[in-house]
Structure 1
Amino acid sequence: MTLPFPPRDTLAASTVTPIVAGPDRAAAARRAILPSRSRVQVSSGSIIRRRVAVRLAKLLLPVGALTLLAAIALWPEIDGAADRGRMAFRRATQATADAMRISGARFQGVDEQNRPYNLTATSAVQRDQTGMIDLAKPRADILLTNGAWMLLESQDGQYNRPDSLLDLQGNVTLWHDNGTTLKTEAAHIDVHAGEAESDVATAAQGPFGTLQSEGFKLRERGQVVFFTGRSHAVLEGRQ
């Protein structure tokens, strides 16, 4: 199949661009070559705003730098003043100026026969300069005659340190080395002499049996126990 072609004269005429000479040629070239982006027109208002921003930056930057340097130089004084304020607040919350609280307190000493004893408490607060100390959950370990020992504990207590006197309150329990256990609500202990007594209801249990009384007295460094007041005993053991 043969396709018709246009005449040679017609094809040549359609592809020939007329040549323009002189000033018209330069104008045509300028119209043909367009700029890549249009020029931004800057208004007088934007120029003024930019100048104001530059002046403010020149003014504020030195002021900010001076403020930062002053804060660094004065920070130790500020921090010290804050610490002094916190210390003053803590002192104001104390009940008394001479009160001193100790956690995990431990007191050690020797009795009149040079036997050691230990007294511990979860916390201790000294009332004043007299030596009276309030104890929380006190526990006393006292060595008795012939190497025996006695252990006491309670919920609260007061310890007269100069005189080695201990007053216990609340679920007072006394364990003796011979297997005897005494329970009462209050007891007075002379730690230095190794003696204890109570004038409130007491329950005792040991190798002898069980006993209930209105009080007790422990004498001769734990070798003798007197049960005072109305007492009721159930004795056990060999005849």
Structure 2
Amino acid sequence: MPAGPGWARPPSPGAEALPDWRERPVPSRARRIYTRGSILRRRFAVRFLKYVLPLGALALLSAIVLWPEFEREGENARLSFRRMSRAAPESVRVVDPRYQGVDEQGRPFNVTAFTASQQGSTNVVELEAPRGDLVLSGGGWMLVESRDGRFDRNANILDLRRDVTIWQDDGTLIETQEARVDVKGGNAEGDRPIAAQGTFGTITGDGFRLRDRGTVVVFTGNARAVLEGGQ
């Protein structure tokens, strides 16, 4: 039967109907279009990795080779630190220290210095430019000072060294190189040569003893006095 318009031959039995070639998907690979910026970024990334990867490998190899040396140096540093901490006790340094107290009768005394340093837990402090102020019997005062010193806070004993000077409000001045002062008891003594002057004149000797909170001064050794006074 001749084919006419709108007529199609039916498929033969057992045969699959083949789709029309115009309905099949066209096998194609769409090409990606690169811009100038993307090409430059890609080129930069390639160059960057070209240099970074060899450097990273070299750094990793160096770390693997040198790691035992780092561990050995760390152990030596820890050992030296422990030895130093055991050999050198802790020290405390204070600027412009002040120690205050009162005696049995409530009279105050003060010990000051330019600096004070204390080693460990001891109550003895080393002083630079120490100075002690004491109230004497009858309301008078005494001032002691030197270049260096040491203060025992438990015993209230002030040891003075180098250019020791003892002043009293009655005009008495005693100069020596070493002296021990009981700042709470108000007494002082020394066994180095001394020179004293005051309203009484001048006295030199091999040592001195200051008792009864400054009311009595005894000059020891070869003492020599030049007295001055009115009638």
Q: TM-score, normalised by structure 2?
A: 0.64
How does 1:60-209 map onto structure 2 within 5 Å? 96-209=88-201
Quote how far apart the aligned CAs of 1:192 are. Answer: 1.1
Structure 2: segments with no counterpart, 5+ residues = 1-38, 52-76
Cα displacement string for residues 133-163 of structure 1 (whole angstroms, at most 9, x for unaligned residues): 1111101011111110000100111111011
Q: 1:151, 1:50 → 2: CA distance?
A: 85
Q: 2:114, 2:101 → 1: CA distance?
A: 18
Gap change, CA 1:94 and 1:123, over 3 Å in 2? farther
Tell me if structure 1 keeps the 8 A contact 2:93–2:115: yes
Structure 1's consecutive aligned runs of 4 or more residues displaced over 4 angstroms after TM superposition are: 48-51, 54-60, 92-95
Q: 1:96, 1:131 → 2: CA distance?
A: 17
2:44 matched residue in structure 1? 53
Q: 1:105, 1:113 → 2: CA distance?
A: 25
How large is the Cα RMSD of the aligned pairs? 3.0
Q: 2:88, 2:105 → 1: CA distance?
A: 37
Q: 2:226, 2:194 → 1: CA distance?
A: 14
Structure 1: segments with no counterpart, 5+ residues = 1-47, 61-84
* Aligned amino acid, residue 222 of structure 2: R
Q: 2:150, 2:123 → 1: CA distance?
A: 10
Cα displacement string for residues 35-68 of structure 1 (whole angstroms, at most 9, x for unaligned residues): xxxxxxxxxxxxx9886236557999xxxxxxxx
Q: 1:96, 1:217 → 2: CA distance?
A: 38
Query: What's the % identity of the aligned pairs?
Result: 46
Aligned length: 166
More helix by share: 1
* Aligned amino acid, residue 136 of structure 1: E
